[in-house]
Structure 1
Amino acid sequence: MRLPDALASRLPGTRTDKPVVSLVRLHGVITPTAGPVPRSVINAAAVEKTLDRAFAPDRLAAVALLVNSPGGSPTQSALVADAVRRHADEKGVPVLAFCEDVAASGGYWLACAADEIHAHPTSLVGSIGVVSQGFGLDGLIERFGVERRLYTAGTSKARLDPFLPEKPEDVAWLRDLQDQLHAMFRDWVTTRRGERLSSDADLFTGEVWTGAKALELGLVDGLGTAHAVLSERFPQAELVTVDTRKPLLARLGLGAPAAAGAPFGTDGLLGVLQAAEVRAMWARYGL
């Protein structure tokens, strides 16, 4: 029995007469930890199986990355981008990235994994830089009479501890680390974009541009939505969205129940803080 094309194209290893373009959504903050809400983060573990499925169809014509991310972990950005390139090279198919609301910092790192980058004229693109943030709470605990007790083996083990006064040598260490990461980011972008990058502007200051300006600067190759560009480029292909598969309980609309009478403890507090951090990263771009 022959499966309908619409169904067959979604099953790895099956055959269909129509070419397939797989759509992979890379939406959220890039972090090694789980998100405060489902699908709110991007990391290598979360997208591994999605990429496997996206590159699996027999008549695969291309893979499209729908990027909507304010950035995050440089390591996870690199791991996901490397996974995209590994699959693309093995399969021998083009990868196109489409910047949606924002493809900034690590989000732009992900977009550069594609052979072509497209954006909407109003998209926010770029932010090729490195940022670190935190709080200085040493004055707060002193005000409330809280004594900080910290024991370490190694003079650098407690660098930039938020409950200790800031030390100039620790700040210098952090900035050196940022410079190293910034150089890696710059090398990745220049390697992937090559001569398409404009030589008339410094593109590595951490500045963010609209999609229209990013086209002038060579950060993207064209303007347009995924549907419009892909329909024109691959008119005979079926566009198939490859979503991250939810756990069984989530698919049934169920979650892991909290223990009866459990207090709002450390896990709850960390969840609130993580949600606030995620919210702040989006808010940096007015979203």
Structure 2
Amino acid sequence: MADEWKTPAAGSPDERSWRLLEKALLASVQEQRRSRRWGIFFKVLTFLYLFIMLALFTPALDLKKSASRSESHTALVEVRGMIADKEAASADNIVGSLRAAFDDPKTKGVILRINSPGGSPVQSGYIYDEIRRLRGEHKDIKVYAVIADLGASGAYYIASAADEIYADKASLVGSIGVTAASFGFVETMNKLGVERRVYTSGEHKAFLDPFQPQKEDETRFWQGVLETTHKQFIDSVKKGRGDRLKVDGHPELFSGLIWTGEQAVALGLVDKLGSTSYVAREVIGEKEIVDYTVQDSPIDRFAKRLGASVSEHAALWLGFQGPSLR
């Protein structure tokens, strides 16, 4: 029968060897753990470094790429998504892109490629005015708006400042109207037995408060604000499109309705059907396209989205959302 394993006697040479072996094993395990921690730390540090370098230098590389073009070209500026401050299609971004495109002596024509549901009347107005100003300063460079899937409301406001508007036959175009929306929680508050207390220093300061009943005079006032904004929108479109608009016989043109690109041509909202590449190649006569759209760094995009999300939720909670061209 095999001898049973016995723990070495205390103080014996075997016991001392055992303890030395145990310490060596523990030290090895601890060293491995430290190595893993440092390895993870340096991997994370390397990732952050590469991310920051990419964020800092990607826009510069894009500019160098555009600047390296030695031949004449068609300049492209994207108007994509909601037209609002801090968004990709903000007035700051679009106006900056347009100025860069017009300032390049190699630019033969400018295309505004639009795919947007609209947004802020203020931001749209800024862009509209700048397009007309740049067209006046650079009479040899024409601006062509090309509507992709959607060119509605504030996006069409911008498009109407161009020399010509193109769209696909199935594009959605128009929606020349203004909207402002909130919620009413008066009955809900009553059912819950919650009392709303608002303190103001102006008689109508809280007229958009969703927790208080609407007043007829305040509703009329707010409707007047929207109608004034709508009139400004209509006047700008008429100024931009001129006699190309088929206003006579089409009273619904400025009603907020939306049409396909094919229908929009018949109404004078769009000049012709065509894509970005078609306009660059066949209309401008320069098929090489250089994108001048301002590109935010990943860090900027994250910060803007975070800030916009917080402000948007705060505005919704307070029951206020300004007029939108939709």
The TM-score normalised by the length of structure 2 is 0.69
Assess if the C-alpha contact under 8 Å between 2:182 and 2:316 holds in 1. Answer: no
Pair 1:63 & 2:116 matched = no
Pair 1:163 & 2:211 matched = yes
State the AA in 2 paired with 1:114.
A
Structure 1 stretch displaced more, 227-236 or 127-136: 227-236
Structure 2 counterpart of 1:10, from 60, 66, 70: 66
Aligned equivalent of 2:250: 201
Aligned equivalent of 2:133: 86
Matched residue SS, 1:122 = coil
Matched residue SS, 2:242 = helix
Structure number with the higher helix fraction is 2
- The Cα shift of 1:183 comes to 1.1
Residues 144/45 of structure 1: CA separation in 2 closer, same or farther (3 Å cut): farther
* Number of aligned residue pairs: 250
Assess if the C-alpha contact under 8 Å between 1:10 and 1:57 holds in 2. Answer: no
Assess if the C-alpha contact under 8 Å between 2:108 and 2:286 holds in 1. Answer: no
State the AA in 1 paired with 2:66.
R
Aligned equivalent of 2:278: 228
Gaps of 5+ in 2: 1-61, 304-308, 318-323
The TM-score normalised by the length of structure 1 is 0.78
For residues 185 and 268 of structure 2, what CA distance do their matches in structure 1 show?
Answer: 43
Gaps of 5+ in 1: 1-5, 257-265, 275-280
For residues 249 and 192 of structure 1, what CA distance do their matches in structure 2 show?
Answer: 37
Aligned equivalent of 2:310: 267
- The Cα shift of 1:58 comes to 0.8
Aligned equivalent of 2:97: 50
Pair 1:242 & 2:292 matched = yes
Q: Deviations over 1:135-192 (max 9, x none)?
A: 0012223333332221111112111211111111111111111111111111111111
Structure 1 stretch displaced more, 241-250 or 109-118: 241-250
CA-atom RMSD in angstroms = 2.8
Residues 271/175 of structure 1: CA separation in 2 closer, same or farther (3 Å cut): closer
Assess if the C-alpha contact under 8 Å between 1:20 and 1:57 holds in 2. Answer: no
| Structure 2 counterparts to residues 93-172 of structure 1, below 5 A | 93-172=141-220
State the AA in 2 paired with 1:24.
V
Assess if the C-alpha contact under 8 Å between 1:103 and 1:125 holds in 2. Answer: yes
Q: Deviations over 1:209-259 (max 9, x none)?
A: 1000000010110001111122112334521112222236469xxx56xxx
Matched residue SS, 1:63 = strand
Assess if the C-alpha contact under 8 Å between 1:19 and 1:237 holds in 2. Answer: no
Aligned equivalent of 1:180: 228
Q: Deviations over 1:62-108 (max 9, x none)?
A: 11001111112111110111122222322221100011111111111
For residues 76 and 314 of structure 2, what CA distance do their matches in structure 1 show?
Answer: 30
Matched residue SS, 1:99 = strand
Identity percentage of aligned residues = 38
For residues 211 and 314 of structure 2, what CA distance do their matches in structure 1 show?
Answer: 21
